[in-house]
Structure 1
Amino acid sequence: MSATHSVGKRAALTPRHLTRAGERLSFVYLERCTIHRDDNAITADDADGTLHLPSATIGTLLLGPGTRITHQAMSLLGETGAGVVWVGERGVRFYASGRALTRSSALVEAQAARWANQRSRLTVAREMYRLRFPDEDPAGLTRHELLGREGTRVQKCYRAQAARTGIRWQGRQYTPGDFASGDAVNQGITAAAQCMYGVAHAVVTSLGCSPGLGFVHSGHELSFVLDIADLYKTEIGIPLAFDVAAEGEEDVGSRTRRALRDRINETGLLDRCVTDIKRLLLPEGAGGGVGVREDEDRVMLRGDGSREVASGRNHGDADEAVIW
């Protein structure tokens, strides 16, 4: 009882105490263990002993088969802004996520504004295409033309990677809910995609963006997450899956996951992901903070036009501003 009581009395962490999203571990995968907390660390207990992980350094915690997690561990992960995703052979389930690492709503407001306007939504979609394929200019392309070109480029990527690695490519094959139905390279592609979705989800939520307001994908609660994960599909995910499958067909899923984690850390992908999201959503020259410190609890009220007025005051009498 005393341990539980002391945990409950700890002060909540603020963004000043937290590690920036771009500087965190991309993801940590755990299976067949019990996850708890020890002060500000996450612990994983199994037959081999106890592993301690500083919670503020975790980007995404992937919980595989046989895992159990305590309420105190989830509370800590929520405080530190870590994404938590239950995974297994039947695919990713985005069950929970941590709170944002910023107290500013600037990014989500910018996202909503660009999403709500048809022209700016298409502009962002074109910019996403340009980030993926910098040798092409998507200016003037319709959405249908963007989708067609994207499909063609992905197919070319599959064929090029097959030729490079000597793997026989018979097309993309994945049956939802049946990971083992595909051949080795298709299992690797699926495993890489699942991990990238988890990483993108953690970065999107840590920045305070809305996972559901997508610019390419639509109609799903994770549309923007899918948008961001796809930015790095042909550059990182697909080539790595072919590399792993070329090495052997055993344990392709787990080997792909480990190789992807190393590649993400080597290339500094988390930091790049943060930069790309801000570049896509913010006006040119606005910068990351948009004039607001990201660790500042700044609550304003919306006035007429774009004007903001102080909160915590009664604005009923202009001559007498009363603090609530």
Structure 2
Amino acid sequence: MSARSRRRSSTVRYRSALMGSPWSAHPPSCRFCPTARHAASTMQRKGGPRLLITDREGALYLERARVHVEGGRIVYTITDDENAREFNVPHVNLAVLFLGQGTSITQEAMRLLGEEHVHLAVTGTGGTPMHMGALTTYTATGHFRRLLPIYRDPALSLKAAIAVMNHRTLRMTTIGGQIAARELRARQIDGLKAAGAKFEIALKGCRDVAQLLGYEGEYSKACYREFGGMVGLKSFRRNAGAGPSDEERIDDPEAICIALANRLIDHGNYLCYGMSGAALWALGIPPHMSIFHGKTRAGGLVFDLADSFKDALVLPLAFAVATGRKSDDPEKQFRARLIEIFDDYKILAKAVDTVEAMLLAGEGKSATVD
């Protein structure tokens, strides 16, 4: 059997718009996520219109691979033992490319990704937030011009922030509740609903962003407490930045689960930041124009926007994987399932919807919460 035949037989085939071919090779370890079918922005490229960001496959995660260009196509090569396998990257139909540990990429591949407006997010051990986008592609400035007066006026920033938080509470009780029912076998989420209702009441009387952040902290703790209780981890405390070495020094099984849950939450948050960053970049909005996560914090608006959906996705899944222990590689299991959830709930499109609601609120207009 030829090397090409062996390569084809070891892959799963999936439908793609890449290079005009209806089928392309794709390994089962990587997951592509379709997103919602509506426009986020208008983009043009040489040879015809570029796919809208919300019409593309949502995300692809690669690790221990070499990304390069071959015959005008972006491909990645995975080498295991003595075999090297090569697969296509459908860069004309991709929104976010996550590069994990042991991955390299050539300048030519970076250029083609930039030309097709693909957002690149580099994640190291546990996920390190490094986001990159080309500066040579044109994006309309309408959303940026609408955000600028909101960013500069604290009163308008507060209105926009409240709109984001309203999206957050609704998605927690709907999407978060659905994931909890499926992954954690939760029969009811009355505690989450009560925490959300309390937060929404507090938001109505909020005087400034500092007060909002205080209420947000209380709401986050309530969510951790509720999800921890669903899996019997009532002593759970959030510890951002916990690594695998922290788990190795622990003997208590419950403490090990708590440390793993913290690590998975970190990793999930970074993946959500990639989706948030891609939405902002596609809309031509600078990520540093934060409305409530600190005016000097790098990429603050990425965190603002990700808050509208990340806890609803990440928390129930992190606790489920940390306590289920169904895999020798829980981080890989968690990551694959989270990217599936990006697909299931059309998260990139929902992020774009939140941006529009945020802008409308800052302009004194009403918007429906999706």
Which SS does the other structure have where 1:59 is aligned? Answer: strand
Q: Which residue of 2 aligns with 1:206?
A: 282
1:231 to 308, 329, 334: 308
Corresponding residue number in structure 2 for 1:141 = 206
Query: What SS does the aligned partner of 2:156 have?
Result: helix
Of residues 41, 52, 59, the one that matches 1:27 is 59
SS at match of 1:29: strand
Corresponding residue SS for 1:32: coil
State whether residues 264 and 270 of structure 1, in contact with CA within 8 Å, keep that contact through their aligned partners in structure 2: yes
CA distance in 2, matches of 1:145, 1:51: 50
Structure 1 portions without partners, runs of 5+:
1-11, 288-324
After TM superposition, give the deviation of residue 159 of structure 1 in Å.
1.4
Deviations 1:252-276 (A, max 9, x none): 3222211110011001111111111
Q: 1:14 to 1:150 in 2, by over 3 A?
A: farther
**RMSD between aligned alpha carbons?**
2.6
Distance 1:238 1:14, change over 3 A: farther
Alignment of 1:97-246 (within 5 A): 97-98=133-134, 103-134=139-170, 135=197, 136-137=200-201, 138-142=203-207, 143-167=209-233, 169-175=235-241, 178=243, 180-181=245-246, 183-218=259-294, 219-246=296-323
Structure 1 pair 15–82 and aligned structure 2 pair: CA distance change class (3 A): farther
Q: Distance in 2 between matches of 1:99 and 1:82?
A: 12
Contact 2:114 2:137 in 1 (8 A): no
Aligned pairs for 1:265-280 within 5 A:
265-280=343-358
Post-superposition Cα deviations, 1:118-157, rounded to whole Å, max 9, x if no partner, equal: 2111111121122212442422302233122211111111
Q: Which amino acid aligns with 2:218?
A: T
Deviation digits for residues 228-282 of structure 1 (CA, Å, limit 9, x no counterpart): 1111133111111112212217423222211110011001111111111122124
Alignment counterpart, residue 258 of structure 1, candidates 322, 336, 347: 336
Q: After TM superposition, give the deviation of residue 102 of structure 1 in Å.
A: 6.4
Matched-pair contact (CA < 8 Å) for 2:161–2:358 = no
Inter-partner Cα distance in structure 2 for 1:174 and 1:55: 33
2:127 pairs, out of 62, 69, 91, with 91
Q: Distance in 2 between matches of 1:199 and 1:71?
A: 23
Instruction: Choose which of 76, 86, 96 in structure 2 pairs with 1:44.
Output: 76
Alpha-carbon spacing, 1:258–1:15, altered in 2? closer, same or farther (3 Å): farther
How has the CA–CA distance of structure 1 residues 26 and 98 changed in structure 2, closer, same or farther, with 3 Å as cutoff? farther
How far off its partner does 1:29 sit? 1.1
> Retained in 1: the 8 A contact 2:66–2:103?
yes
User: Is the 2:143–2:285 Cα contact (8 Å) retained in structure 1?
Assistant: yes
TM-score relative to the length of structure 2: 0.68
The answer as to whether partners of 2:58 and 2:348 remain within 8 angstroms in 1 is yes
Indicate how the Cα distance of structure 1 residues 148 and 15 shifts in structure 2: closer, same or farther if over 3 A, else same.
farther
In 2, distance between residues paired with 1:66 and 1:173? 26
8 Å Cα contact 1:191-1:256 kept in structure 2: no
The aligned length equals 275
Task: Supply the distance in 1 between the matched residues of 2:286 and 2:47 (Cα, whole angstroms).
Answer: 19
**Counterpart of 1:25 in structure 2: which amino acid?**
E
Deviation at 1:40, TM superposition (A): 5.9
Which sections of structure 2, spanning at least 5 residues, go unmatched? 1-43, 171-196, 248-258
Instruction: Tell me the percent identity.
Output: 24
Task: Tell me if structure 2 keeps the 8 A contact 1:84–1:98.
Answer: no
- SS class of match (1:26): strand
The 10-residue stretch of structure 1 (218-227 or 97-106) with the greater mean CA deviation from structure 2:
97-106
> Where is the helix percentage greater, Structure 1 or Structure 2?
2
Cα offsets for 1:60-95 (capped at 9, x unmatched): 111112111111110011111111122111531425
Inter-partner Cα distance in structure 2 for 1:208 and 1:255:
33
Q: Where has structure 1 moved over 6 Å in runs of 4 or more?
A: 284-287
* Aligned position for 1:313: none
| Residue 70 (structure 1) aligned with residue 147 (structure 2) | no
> Larger Rg: 1 or 2?
1
Q: Distance in 2 between matches of 1:202 and 1:174?
A: 24
TM-score normalized by the length of structure 1: 0.77
Distance change (3 Å), C-alpha of 1:22 and 1:169: farther
Name the amino acid aligned to 2:167: L
- Change beyond 3 A, Cα 1:41–1:247: farther
Q: What SS does the aligned partner of 2:45 have?
A: coil
Higher mean alpha-carbon deviation, 96-105 vs 108-117, is at 96-105
Spell out, residue by residue over 1:178-235, the C-alpha distance to the aligned partner (whole angstroms, 9 max, x if none): 4543611111111110111111111111111110001111212210001011111331
Work out whether residues 89 and 179 of structure 1, in 8 Å CA contact, stay in contact via their aligned partners in 2: no
